[in-house]
Structure 1
């Protein structure tokens, strides 16, 4: 009974020895090596045919003919990726002469490099406008003046100058030049040759045009928005801040750790309501979110680092002057946030100067599947919208720069691709593509 397994093991041993002898023979080894080499070369050739780029070998160029799934295993894919990476690194460090090739027809990745370069150039310009320095231009070998304009970015310097003009009274006038041209008409100098232009400008100002920071029709805004915004501006910008009848309320922004920007704005809306009800000019003081190196000089720790100040500089100077006057505090000429209870600030009385326009609000509050036409917080919702719109009426140049950086990060590459596609000539004419990534 034990003979059969023994004979079987002997037979297997003999077959294994014969196979070993055959496998160690030189002709067999040649066949095996040739077979494996053929498999590798075939896989490599198929990978090159199915790749997206163009591979050049021995003067013969193989172009991509398919975008289907590659039959390569993980080892072959790693090899192809290594070759592609070496080729990309080489291209990023060479000087590419101008090619009269439509960017939409390019398949070698150069257009992606040009898009990345233009987007980086815009980012460098924005960085300089905020931080004042950038090492990009020396590394890229580009001229700032040759960079195409960015359609998604705002000219912050020009915008700041225009807004500053719109936030100041015209000479001997009650209001700034808030014409239907948003102040642009006021930039034309007066002369005998344009007396008619001067007449229309003076008429538009004297008739009391509405604030230019309100856009859209009256139906697209809360009731009485244009009138309310104009009246708040007039209340916060008295003609003579040193008039004995002008009183002030000086208040810091909330700075407790648990208060976010929403709570800070809600608190300041309540203080502005108190100031209007008591016929005081609101002057804001310390703002913790502006307490950093980005807000320089007088803008540090101030709301005016991001948005135009809530009142004129003359009124601010007068208010802080009175703040150190004990008699002015005792007589109530000036008050502070500590002069009021917390309930007065957070749930105080909404100004009734303009009646009750919130009663005409379109219902937006839903309960049990039905819109509520009126509820107790409608007045607070309406007032906070008006107060925040006034406090954020104009961006400063610094805030405009921050918004440009955010826009460039969000849509900069898409904008760069559109600009490069629309250009009639190649940009730049001699392109030095560095490994900026």
Structure 2
């Protein structure tokens, strides 16, 4: 009896203690957290299963939706009952953006290859994937044939003129050359040309006078006139014929410096400079008469008539005896490399902005300023116009560096059906 009473008392104590613990606030928090965790886990698993089922049916649902849209909607039907291409294109881009990017890359590669074929002038009419008319113009390439033709127009004076028609190069833009069959040209055929060539400036100088060395336009004009006498057969015209430096170790800079010195001698002695052998042009790329000549890369320093006249005089003994023609051997190295700079234009180098710095200070005047100014003028004249060969080389270099990038930009502006619409 006593054991039963003790057992009942113990149960009451335990129950009372459990009731007190269950009614405490920390215990309630733990229970609520447990049930909340169970609920969150349940909903998360349910959402994950539902999302997987929808993803597996997404392609069919998208195709079905587009089919219903194209059949039932009236906003994508054209006048003739044909679907508007914009809807089809939009649906295609929504479903396969990577495919479109790949197509653009393929088109850019095709366009780049077509430009390469045109650049190499190896078009095979039977083997070309694209017709010539379907290939858009390359923004990074020059039309070398047209550019060379225009440069020849600016480098050859007309009859009874001392200089070409440089006064019109930014006016009518050479209408006589570019549009020979235009109405304007027919009207001007009977009008005598009365351009003021005295103040005409050469077209190979760009920018304002402040962007160039002092008197650049005037000097370039006078150099061209000096190197292109109206009558090369005149006994008063004298010549200086010289090869480019070809000693081992002489780079292109040293060759330029030597030729600038020879041009200075020619100006001071009133001679026409005629360059002869140029070792950097002694290769198969320079064909015909341009082989081993400066004219392979740039326009010749003088006219063809003066060149022929100078080479003819070199064969005559009396021409050497009377000083009508001289060569590089007639002058010392000091005269060539450190000779007197032409002073016919005064001292324009004194107006140059100082660029020589010594111990943190800029020198306004020093002994090399005149030589720097003259070499800049001489090199600018010698490189005034590129030859077609040089233009082709520059096109090849630009195409190799920027061709694919340019093709990707051009493809963005082409019709979506290109090149199918042009085949």
- TM superposition score category, shorter chain reference: 0.7 to 0.9
The equivalent of 2:392 in structure 1 is 401
Q: Distance in 2 between matches of 1:319 and 1:274?
A: 16
Whether 1:115 and 2:108 are equivalent positions in the alignment is yes
Aligned CA distance change for structure 1 residues 263 and 420 (closer, same or farther; 3 Å):
same
Unmatched 5+ stretches in structure 2: 1-58, 61-87
Shift of 1:364: 1.3
1:244 to 232, 235, 241: 235
| Contact 2:165-2:197 at 8 Å conserved across structures | no
Structure 2 CA distance for partners of 1:369 and 1:326, relative to 1, 3 Å? same
RMSD of aligned Cα (Å): 3.1
Please list, as runs of the form range in 1=range in 2, the aligned pairs for 1:21-420 lying within 5 A after superposition.
Answer: 106-108=97-99, 109-128=102-121, 133=122, 141-182=129-170, 184-187=174-177, 202-420=193-411
Distance 1:302 1:180 in 2: 31
SS in 1 for 2:166: coil
Normalising by structure 1, we get a TM-score of 0.70
Distance 1:126 1:327, change over 3 A: same
Q: Whole-Å Cα distance in 1 between the matches of residues 420 and 318 of structure 2? A: 71
Task: Give CA-to-partner distance per residue, 1:91-148, whole Å, 9 cap, x none.
Answer: xxxxxxxx968999842323222212211211221122xxxx467x766622233211
Alignment coverage as a number of residue pairs: 333
Larger radius of gyration: 2
Q: 1:414, 1:192 → 2: CA distance?
A: 41
Are 2:201 and 2:218, in contact at CA under 8 Å, matched by a contact in 1?
A: yes
Q: What is the CA deviation profile of residues 23-61 of structure 1, one whole-angstrom value per residue up to 9, with x for unaligned ones?
A: xxxxxxxxxxxxxxxxxxxxxxxxxxxxxxxxxxxxx89
Residues 279-305 of structure 1, C-alpha deviations (whole Å, 9 max, x = no match): 000000011111111111111111101
Measure the CA separation in 1 of the matches of 2:174 and 2:182. Answer: 17
Partner SS state of residue 261, structure 2: helix
Contact 1:308 1:393 in 2 (8 A): yes
Cα pair 1:190 1:198 within 8 Å, conserved:
no
